[in-house]
Amino acid sequence: MPSESEVRSALAEIVEPQLVRPIGELGFLGVVEDGPTGLAVELVLPVREWPNLETLAADVERVAPGSTLTVRSMDDEERLALRNFLRGEMAGDPGAGQHAHGDAKPRFMDNLSKTRVLGISSGKGGVGKSSVTVNLAISLARLGHSVGVLDADVYGFSLPKMLGASTDPIVLGDTVIPTLVHGVRCVSMGYFVPDEQPVIWRGPMLHKAIEQLVTEAWWDEPDFLLIDMPPGTGDVALTLSEVVPRIEMYVVTTPQAAAQRVAQRSAYAARKLKLSVRGVIENMSWFTGDDAQRYEIFGAGGGQRIAEELGVALLGQIPLETKLREGGDQGEPVVVAAPESEVAQAFVALAKAVAAQGPARVYRQELKLV
Ligand SMILES: Nc1ncnc2c1ncn2[C@@H]1O[C@H](COP(=O)(O)OP(=O)(O)O)[C@@H](O)[C@H]1O
Ligand SMILES: [Mg+2]
Protein backbone atom coordinates (compact mmCIF):
# COMPACT_ATOMS: atom_id res chain seq x y z
CA MET A 1 0.00 0.00 0.00
CA PRO A 2 1.41 3.41 -0.95
CA SER A 3 1.49 5.91 1.91
CA GLU A 4 -0.86 8.86 2.17
CA SER A 5 1.88 11.25 1.08
CA GLU A 6 2.82 9.06 -1.90
CA VAL A 7 -0.78 9.08 -3.08
CA ARG A 8 -0.91 12.81 -2.54
CA SER A 9 2.17 13.41 -4.71
CA ALA A 10 0.77 11.18 -7.44
CA LEU A 11 -2.56 13.03 -7.34
CA ALA A 12 -0.81 16.39 -7.39
CA GLU A 13 0.61 15.55 -10.80
CA ILE A 14 -2.75 15.11 -12.50
CA VAL A 15 -2.85 17.67 -15.29
CA GLU A 16 -5.92 19.89 -15.51
CA PRO A 17 -7.07 19.78 -19.18
CA GLN A 18 -8.07 23.41 -19.54
CA LEU A 19 -5.26 25.05 -17.61
CA VAL A 20 -2.67 22.46 -18.67
CA ARG A 21 -0.89 22.54 -15.32
CA PRO A 22 -0.68 19.95 -12.52
CA ILE A 23 -3.53 20.25 -10.03
CA GLY A 24 -0.99 20.38 -7.20
CA GLU A 25 0.39 23.65 -8.60
CA LEU A 26 -3.05 25.08 -9.31
CA GLY A 27 -4.22 24.60 -5.73
CA PHE A 28 -6.93 22.21 -6.93
CA LEU A 29 -5.87 19.41 -4.59
CA GLY A 30 -7.32 19.78 -1.11
CA VAL A 31 -7.13 17.39 1.83
CA VAL A 32 -6.05 13.82 1.12
CA GLU A 33 -6.51 11.55 4.13
CA ASP A 34 -7.10 8.00 5.19
CA GLY A 35 -10.40 7.68 6.96
CA PRO A 36 -12.55 4.87 8.30
CA THR A 37 -14.05 4.32 4.84
CA GLY A 38 -10.74 4.45 2.98
CA LEU A 39 -8.96 7.28 1.26
CA ALA A 40 -10.79 10.61 0.98
CA VAL A 41 -9.70 13.08 -1.68
CA GLU A 42 -10.86 16.67 -1.83
CA LEU A 43 -10.77 18.78 -4.99
CA VAL A 44 -10.87 22.54 -4.61
CA LEU A 45 -12.17 24.15 -7.81
CA PRO A 46 -12.46 27.80 -8.88
CA VAL A 47 -16.21 27.35 -9.34
CA ARG A 48 -18.46 24.42 -8.47
CA GLU A 49 -19.50 23.94 -12.09
CA TRP A 50 -15.91 23.53 -13.24
CA PRO A 51 -16.22 22.11 -16.77
CA ASN A 52 -13.64 19.36 -16.41
CA LEU A 53 -14.83 17.92 -13.12
CA GLU A 54 -15.70 14.58 -14.69
CA THR A 55 -12.30 14.20 -16.30
CA LEU A 56 -10.57 15.13 -13.06
CA ALA A 57 -12.72 12.68 -11.09
CA ALA A 58 -11.78 9.89 -13.51
CA ASP A 59 -8.10 10.78 -13.10
CA VAL A 60 -8.42 10.70 -9.30
CA GLU A 61 -10.04 7.27 -9.54
CA ARG A 62 -7.23 6.07 -11.79
CA VAL A 63 -4.52 7.28 -9.41
CA ALA A 64 -6.34 6.34 -6.19
CA PRO A 65 -8.83 3.59 -7.00
CA GLY A 66 -11.73 3.30 -4.62
CA SER A 67 -11.16 6.69 -3.01
CA THR A 68 -14.06 8.94 -2.03
CA LEU A 69 -14.08 12.29 -3.79
CA THR A 70 -15.46 15.50 -2.37
CA VAL A 71 -15.51 18.85 -4.13
CA ARG A 72 -15.62 22.35 -2.77
CA SER A 73 -15.19 25.69 -4.46
CA MET A 74 -12.34 28.05 -3.77
CA ASP A 75 -12.67 30.94 -1.36
CA ASP A 76 -11.63 34.43 -2.43
CA GLU A 77 -8.08 34.00 -1.22
CA GLU A 78 -7.63 30.72 -3.09
CA ARG A 79 -9.05 32.23 -6.25
CA LEU A 80 -6.65 35.15 -5.97
CA ALA A 81 -3.75 32.74 -5.49
CA LEU A 82 -4.82 30.88 -8.63
CA ARG A 83 -5.15 34.12 -10.58
CA ASN A 84 -1.65 35.14 -9.48
CA PHE A 85 -0.25 31.74 -10.37
CA LEU A 86 -1.79 31.86 -13.87
CA ARG A 87 -0.57 35.40 -14.46
CA GLY A 88 2.92 34.35 -13.45
CA GLU A 89 2.77 31.35 -15.78
CA MET A 90 1.51 33.55 -18.62
CA ALA A 91 4.42 35.91 -18.15
CA GLY A 92 6.89 33.04 -17.84
CA ASP A 93 7.91 34.45 -14.48
CA PRO A 94 6.45 32.99 -11.28
CA GLY A 95 6.74 36.29 -9.41
CA ALA A 96 5.07 38.34 -12.14
CA GLY A 97 1.55 37.45 -11.08
CA GLN A 98 2.04 39.25 -7.80
CA HIS A 99 2.40 42.59 -9.53
CA ALA A 100 -0.48 44.93 -9.91
CA HIS A 101 -2.88 44.59 -12.80
CA GLY A 102 -1.30 44.99 -16.20
CA ASP A 103 2.34 44.75 -15.20
CA ALA A 104 3.18 41.34 -16.54
CA LYS A 105 3.00 40.95 -20.29
CA PRO A 106 2.05 37.45 -21.46
CA ARG A 107 4.94 35.52 -22.89
CA PHE A 108 3.08 34.78 -26.12
CA MET A 109 3.08 38.49 -26.96
CA ASP A 110 6.85 38.62 -27.00
CA ASN A 111 8.39 38.83 -30.47
CA LEU A 112 10.43 35.72 -29.81
CA SER A 113 7.47 33.62 -28.69
CA LYS A 114 6.53 30.52 -30.66
CA THR A 115 2.91 31.72 -30.82
CA ARG A 116 1.66 32.72 -34.25
CA VAL A 117 -1.21 35.19 -34.12
CA LEU A 118 -3.45 34.88 -37.19
CA GLY A 119 -5.95 37.60 -38.02
CA ILE A 120 -8.74 36.16 -40.16
CA SER A 121 -10.24 39.03 -42.09
CA SER A 122 -12.43 39.79 -45.06
CA GLY A 123 -13.47 42.79 -47.06
CA LYS A 124 -17.15 42.28 -46.31
CA GLY A 125 -19.41 40.14 -44.15
CA GLY A 126 -21.00 36.87 -45.15
CA VAL A 127 -18.06 35.40 -47.06
CA GLY A 128 -17.46 32.71 -44.45
CA LYS A 129 -14.80 34.31 -42.27
CA SER A 130 -16.14 32.83 -39.04
CA SER A 131 -16.75 29.41 -40.59
CA VAL A 132 -13.14 29.42 -41.81
CA THR A 133 -11.83 30.56 -38.41
CA VAL A 134 -13.65 27.78 -36.54
CA ASN A 135 -12.80 24.94 -38.91
CA LEU A 136 -9.22 26.06 -39.42
CA ALA A 137 -8.71 26.32 -35.65
CA ILE A 138 -10.02 22.81 -35.01
CA SER A 139 -8.03 21.41 -37.92
CA LEU A 140 -4.83 22.95 -36.52
CA ALA A 141 -5.64 21.46 -33.10
CA ARG A 142 -6.20 18.04 -34.67
CA LEU A 143 -2.79 18.26 -36.32
CA GLY A 144 -1.40 18.45 -32.79
CA HIS A 145 -1.04 22.22 -32.30
CA SER A 146 -2.32 24.12 -29.28
CA VAL A 147 -4.85 26.67 -30.47
CA GLY A 148 -6.86 29.59 -29.14
CA VAL A 149 -9.57 31.57 -30.92
CA LEU A 150 -10.71 35.07 -30.09
CA ASP A 151 -14.02 36.26 -31.46
CA ALA A 152 -13.40 39.94 -32.12
CA ASP A 153 -15.94 40.56 -34.86
CA VAL A 154 -17.82 43.28 -33.04
CA TYR A 155 -20.51 43.39 -35.73
CA GLY A 156 -21.68 39.88 -34.95
CA PHE A 157 -20.15 37.51 -32.46
CA SER A 158 -20.66 33.98 -33.67
CA LEU A 159 -17.80 31.71 -32.65
CA PRO A 160 -19.18 30.19 -29.42
CA LYS A 161 -22.40 29.20 -31.20
CA MET A 162 -20.57 27.83 -34.24
CA LEU A 163 -18.16 25.88 -32.06
CA GLY A 164 -20.97 24.58 -29.89
CA ALA A 165 -19.49 26.04 -26.71
CA SER A 166 -22.03 25.32 -24.01
CA THR A 167 -20.32 27.01 -21.08
CA ASP A 168 -19.24 30.59 -20.62
CA PRO A 169 -15.64 31.47 -19.87
CA ILE A 170 -14.76 31.58 -16.19
CA VAL A 171 -13.60 34.89 -14.85
CA LEU A 172 -11.08 35.07 -12.01
CA GLY A 173 -10.95 38.72 -11.09
CA ASP A 174 -9.23 40.29 -14.10
CA THR A 175 -8.28 37.00 -15.74
CA VAL A 176 -10.52 35.19 -18.19
CA ILE A 177 -10.25 31.43 -18.61
CA PRO A 178 -11.35 30.54 -22.14
CA THR A 179 -13.86 27.79 -22.81
CA LEU A 180 -12.27 24.61 -24.12
CA VAL A 181 -14.28 23.12 -26.97
CA HIS A 182 -13.18 20.62 -29.64
CA GLY A 183 -9.64 21.04 -28.36
CA VAL A 184 -9.66 24.79 -28.96
CA ARG A 185 -9.73 27.58 -26.35
CA CYS A 186 -12.32 30.17 -27.13
CA VAL A 187 -13.15 33.63 -25.85
CA SER A 188 -15.77 35.81 -27.44
CA MET A 189 -16.10 39.49 -26.81
CA GLY A 190 -19.79 38.71 -27.10
CA TYR A 191 -19.72 37.20 -23.61
CA PHE A 192 -18.91 40.57 -22.15
CA VAL A 193 -21.61 42.64 -23.76
CA PRO A 194 -25.21 42.61 -22.60
CA ASP A 195 -27.50 40.23 -24.48
CA GLU A 196 -29.59 41.48 -27.37
CA GLN A 197 -28.39 44.98 -26.82
CA PRO A 198 -26.75 46.60 -29.78
CA VAL A 199 -23.43 47.97 -28.69
CA ILE A 200 -22.07 51.10 -30.18
CA TRP A 201 -18.37 50.62 -29.92
CA ARG A 202 -16.49 53.79 -29.38
CA GLY A 203 -12.82 53.79 -30.28
CA PRO A 204 -11.22 53.81 -26.81
CA MET A 205 -13.71 51.32 -25.38
CA LEU A 206 -13.16 48.93 -28.25
CA HIS A 207 -9.41 49.29 -27.99
CA LYS A 208 -9.49 48.52 -24.27
CA ALA A 209 -11.81 45.53 -24.67
CA ILE A 210 -9.67 43.91 -27.35
CA GLU A 211 -6.45 44.63 -25.56
CA GLN A 212 -7.85 43.03 -22.41
CA LEU A 213 -9.04 39.89 -24.12
CA VAL A 214 -5.69 39.44 -25.81
CA THR A 215 -3.57 40.16 -22.76
CA GLU A 216 -5.78 39.04 -19.87
CA ALA A 217 -7.16 35.72 -21.03
CA TRP A 218 -5.45 32.47 -20.17
CA TRP A 219 -4.12 31.68 -23.64
CA ASP A 220 -0.99 30.21 -22.08
CA GLU A 221 1.54 30.17 -24.93
CA PRO A 222 -0.38 28.48 -27.75
CA ASP A 223 1.06 27.54 -31.12
CA PHE A 224 -1.68 29.54 -32.82
CA LEU A 225 -4.07 32.26 -31.71
CA LEU A 226 -6.72 32.92 -34.36
CA ILE A 227 -8.65 36.15 -34.27
CA ASP A 228 -11.97 36.47 -36.10
CA MET A 229 -11.81 40.12 -37.11
CA PRO A 230 -14.62 42.41 -38.23
CA PRO A 231 -14.87 42.89 -41.99
CA GLY A 232 -12.77 45.67 -43.48
CA THR A 233 -9.96 47.41 -41.68
CA GLY A 234 -11.30 49.54 -38.93
CA ASP A 235 -10.51 50.15 -35.31
CA VAL A 236 -10.01 46.49 -34.48
CA ALA A 237 -7.21 46.06 -37.00
CA LEU A 238 -5.60 49.25 -35.77
CA THR A 239 -5.75 48.06 -32.17
CA LEU A 240 -4.37 44.65 -33.01
CA SER A 241 -1.52 46.16 -34.98
CA GLU A 242 -0.54 47.96 -31.80
CA VAL A 243 -1.19 45.15 -29.34
CA VAL A 244 0.37 42.33 -31.38
CA PRO A 245 2.50 43.94 -34.11
CA ARG A 246 3.53 40.58 -35.52
CA ILE A 247 -0.04 39.50 -36.30
CA GLU A 248 -0.31 37.68 -39.65
CA MET A 249 -3.31 38.55 -41.78
CA TYR A 250 -5.26 36.01 -43.82
CA VAL A 251 -7.84 37.33 -46.23
CA VAL A 252 -11.01 35.33 -46.87
CA THR A 253 -12.76 35.96 -50.16
CA THR A 254 -15.20 34.30 -52.52
CA PRO A 255 -14.38 33.70 -56.21
CA GLN A 256 -16.51 36.62 -57.42
CA ALA A 257 -14.79 39.63 -58.88
CA ALA A 258 -16.76 42.01 -56.67
CA ALA A 259 -15.92 40.22 -53.43
CA GLN A 260 -12.37 40.03 -54.56
CA ARG A 261 -12.12 43.77 -55.13
CA VAL A 262 -13.45 44.46 -51.65
CA ALA A 263 -11.05 41.94 -50.16
CA GLN A 264 -8.22 43.60 -52.00
CA ARG A 265 -9.05 47.05 -50.70
CA SER A 266 -9.05 45.75 -47.18
CA ALA A 267 -5.77 43.92 -47.72
CA TYR A 268 -4.14 47.09 -49.02
CA ALA A 269 -5.45 48.95 -46.01
CA ALA A 270 -3.98 46.24 -43.78
CA ARG A 271 -0.64 46.80 -45.45
CA LYS A 272 -0.90 50.49 -44.69
CA LEU A 273 -1.24 49.58 -41.03
CA LYS A 274 1.96 47.56 -41.48
CA LEU A 275 0.13 44.30 -40.88
CA SER A 276 1.72 41.50 -42.80
CA VAL A 277 -0.68 39.78 -45.19
CA ARG A 278 0.35 36.10 -45.38
CA GLY A 279 -2.23 34.44 -47.53
CA VAL A 280 -5.60 34.31 -49.24
CA ILE A 281 -8.30 31.76 -48.50
CA GLU A 282 -11.03 31.34 -51.10
CA ASN A 283 -14.37 30.15 -49.77
CA MET A 284 -17.42 28.85 -51.65
CA SER A 285 -15.10 27.94 -54.52
CA TRP A 286 -17.36 25.32 -56.07
CA PHE A 287 -20.16 22.93 -55.31
CA THR A 288 -19.64 19.25 -56.01
CA GLY A 289 -22.89 17.77 -57.23
CA ASP A 290 -24.15 14.22 -56.85
CA ASP A 291 -22.83 13.72 -60.38
CA ALA A 292 -19.31 14.41 -58.99
CA GLN A 293 -19.11 17.50 -61.20
CA ARG A 294 -17.78 20.75 -59.79
CA TYR A 295 -20.14 23.67 -60.30
CA GLU A 296 -18.51 27.07 -59.93
CA ILE A 297 -21.56 28.90 -58.66
CA PHE A 298 -19.79 32.12 -57.72
CA GLY A 299 -17.39 32.13 -60.63
CA ALA A 300 -13.76 31.17 -60.56
CA GLY A 301 -10.28 32.54 -60.10
CA GLY A 302 -10.99 35.33 -57.61
CA GLY A 303 -8.80 33.93 -54.86
CA GLN A 304 -5.89 33.30 -57.19
CA ARG A 305 -6.08 36.78 -58.69
CA ILE A 306 -6.05 38.62 -55.40
CA ALA A 307 -3.25 36.37 -54.10
CA GLU A 308 -1.15 37.27 -57.13
CA GLU A 309 -1.82 40.95 -56.75
CA LEU A 310 -0.85 40.85 -53.11
CA GLY A 311 2.17 38.67 -53.78
CA VAL A 312 1.05 35.97 -51.35
CA ALA A 313 -0.11 32.38 -51.74
CA LEU A 314 -3.67 31.16 -52.25
CA LEU A 315 -3.53 28.79 -49.30
CA GLY A 316 -6.82 27.04 -49.68
CA GLN A 317 -10.07 26.68 -51.61
CA ILE A 318 -13.08 25.65 -49.60
CA PRO A 319 -16.05 24.19 -51.47
CA LEU A 320 -19.66 25.10 -50.84
CA GLU A 321 -21.19 22.41 -48.70
CA THR A 322 -24.58 22.22 -47.01
CA LYS A 323 -23.03 20.31 -44.10
CA LEU A 324 -20.80 23.26 -43.37
CA ARG A 325 -23.72 25.61 -42.89
CA GLU A 326 -25.68 23.05 -40.89
CA GLY A 327 -22.63 22.39 -38.73
CA GLY A 328 -22.34 26.10 -38.01
CA ASP A 329 -26.02 26.44 -37.15
CA GLN A 330 -25.99 23.40 -34.87
CA GLY A 331 -22.69 24.09 -33.18
CA GLU A 332 -21.09 21.03 -34.64
CA PRO A 333 -18.33 22.19 -36.96
CA VAL A 334 -18.08 20.22 -40.17
CA VAL A 335 -14.50 19.12 -39.51
CA VAL A 336 -15.82 17.37 -36.38
CA ALA A 337 -19.20 16.22 -37.71
CA ALA A 338 -18.01 14.96 -41.11
CA PRO A 339 -14.21 14.68 -41.09
CA GLU A 340 -14.19 12.62 -44.28
CA SER A 341 -16.15 15.15 -46.32
CA GLU A 342 -14.53 17.08 -49.14
CA VAL A 343 -14.95 20.35 -47.27
CA ALA A 344 -13.36 18.99 -44.07
CA GLN A 345 -10.43 17.69 -46.08
CA ALA A 346 -10.04 21.12 -47.65
CA PHE A 347 -9.74 22.61 -44.14
CA VAL A 348 -7.10 20.06 -43.15
CA ALA A 349 -5.12 20.92 -46.30
CA LEU A 350 -5.49 24.63 -45.45
CA ALA A 351 -4.29 24.03 -41.88
CA LYS A 352 -1.25 22.18 -43.19
CA ALA A 353 -0.48 24.99 -45.63
CA VAL A 354 -0.74 27.65 -42.90
CA ALA A 355 1.47 25.63 -40.55
CA ALA A 356 3.97 24.84 -43.31
CA GLN A 357 4.66 28.42 -44.30
CA GLY A 358 5.99 29.23 -40.82
CA PRO A 359 5.78 32.50 -38.93
CA ALA A 360 6.26 35.88 -40.52
CA ARG A 361 9.77 37.21 -40.29
CA VAL A 362 10.23 39.25 -37.20
CA TYR A 363 12.20 42.38 -37.61
CA ARG A 364 13.71 43.16 -34.28
CA GLN A 365 13.44 46.86 -33.77
CA GLU A 366 16.72 47.08 -31.90
CA LEU A 367 18.48 45.76 -35.01
CA LYS A 368 17.16 48.53 -37.21
CA LEU A 369 19.95 50.25 -39.13
CA VAL A 370 20.10 54.00 -38.88
N1 LIG B 1 -18.26 26.81 -47.78
C2 LIG B 1 -19.51 27.01 -47.34
N3 LIG B 1 -20.52 26.17 -47.70
C4 LIG B 1 -21.79 26.38 -47.25
N5 LIG B 1 -22.16 27.37 -46.44
C6 LIG B 1 -21.20 28.25 -46.04
C7 LIG B 1 -19.83 28.12 -46.46
N8 LIG B 1 -19.11 29.11 -45.88
C9 LIG B 1 -19.99 29.82 -45.14
N10 LIG B 1 -21.24 29.32 -45.24
C11 LIG B 1 -22.45 29.83 -44.59
O12 LIG B 1 -22.60 31.19 -44.97
C13 LIG B 1 -23.04 31.99 -43.88
C14 LIG B 1 -22.03 33.09 -43.59
O15 LIG B 1 -20.83 32.49 -43.12
P16 LIG B 1 -20.01 33.11 -41.90
O17 LIG B 1 -18.88 32.20 -41.61
O18 LIG B 1 -20.91 33.46 -40.77
O19 LIG B 1 -19.47 34.44 -42.62
P20 LIG B 1 -18.80 35.76 -42.03
O21 LIG B 1 -18.19 35.43 -40.73
O22 LIG B 1 -17.81 36.16 -43.08
O23 LIG B 1 -19.90 36.77 -41.92
C24 LIG B 1 -23.23 31.02 -42.72
O25 LIG B 1 -24.56 30.63 -42.67
C26 LIG B 1 -22.34 29.85 -43.09
O27 LIG B 1 -22.80 28.63 -42.53
MG1 LIG C 1 -18.68 36.14 -38.80
Ligand nearest to the CA of 283: 1
Asked if 113 and 54 sit in the same domain, the reply is no
Give the whole-number percent of the chain exceeding pLDDT 90. 65
Please give the distance, rounded to the nearest whole angstrom, from the Cα atom of residue 190 to the centre of ligand 2.
12
Ligand nearest to the CA of 134: 1
Report the b/e string of 166-202 with b at 16+ CB within 10 A: eeebbbbeebbbbbbbbbbbbbbbbbbeeeeeeeebe
- pLDDT higher than 90, residue 314: yes
Please give the distance, rounded to the nearest whole angstrom, from the Cα atom of residue 325 to the centre of ligand 1.
6
Asked if 186 and 320 sit in the same domain, the reply is yes
Asked if 64 and 114 sit in the same domain, the reply is no
- pLDDT higher than 70, residue 59: yes
- pLDDT higher than 80, residue 120: yes
Please give the distance, rounded to the nearest whole angstrom, from the Cα atom of residue 201 to the centre of ligand 2.
17
Say which range, 118-122, 133-137, 195-199, 351-355, has the weakest mean pLDDT: 195-199
Asked if 290 and 156 sit in the same domain, the reply is yes
| CATH number of the domain bearing residue 233 | 3.40.50.300
pTM score of the predicted model: 0.92
Whole-number pLDDT of residue 259:
75
- pLDDT higher than 70, residue 320: yes
Say which range, 23-37, 232-246, 271-285, has the weakest mean pLDDT: 232-246
Residue nearest to atom 23 of ligand 1 (CA): 126
Residue nearest to atom 15 of ligand 1 (CA): 128
Over residues 154-173, mean pLDDT: 89
CA–CA separation, 5 vs 60, rounded Å?
Answer: 15
In terms of pLDDT, which residue wins out, 349 or 107? 349
Report the mean per-residue pLDDT for the chain. Answer: 90
Ligand nearest to the CA of 136: 1
In terms of pLDDT, which residue wins out, 319 or 173? 319
Give the atom of ligand 1 at the shortest distance from the alpha carbon of 321: 3
Which of 133, 286, 322, 325 should be mutated for ligand 1, with most atoms under 8 A from CB? 325
Which pLDDT band holds residue 370 (cuts at 50, 70, 90)? very low
Asked if 14 and 139 sit in the same domain, the reply is no
Number of structural domains in the chain: 2
Whole-number pLDDT of residue 368:
47
Please give the distance, rounded to the nearest whole angstrom, from the Cα atom of residue 331 to the centre of ligand 2.
14
What is the CB neighbour count within 10 angstroms for residue 69?
A: 15
Asked if 269 and 172 sit in the same domain, the reply is yes
Whole-number pLDDT of residue 270:
81
Give the atom of ligand 1 at the shortest distance from the alpha carbon of 329: 27
Ligand nearest to the CA of 152: 2
Please give the distance, rounded to the nearest whole angstrom, from the Cα atom of residue 224 to the centre of ligand 2.
19
Pocket, ligand 1, Cβ cutoff 6 A: 122, 125-131, 158, 283-284, 318, 320-321, 324-325, 328
Model confidence pLDDT, tens digit, residues 182-199: 999 999 988 887 665 666
Please give the distance, rounded to the nearest whole angstrom, from the Cα atom of residue 326 to the centre of ligand 2.
15
Asked if 40 and 152 sit in the same domain, the reply is no
Nearest Cα to 218, choosing from 8, 18, 6, 3? Answer: 18
- pLDDT higher than 50, residue 354: yes
Asked if 159 and 39 sit in the same domain, the reply is no
Query: Residue 14 belongs to what domain range?
Result: 4-74
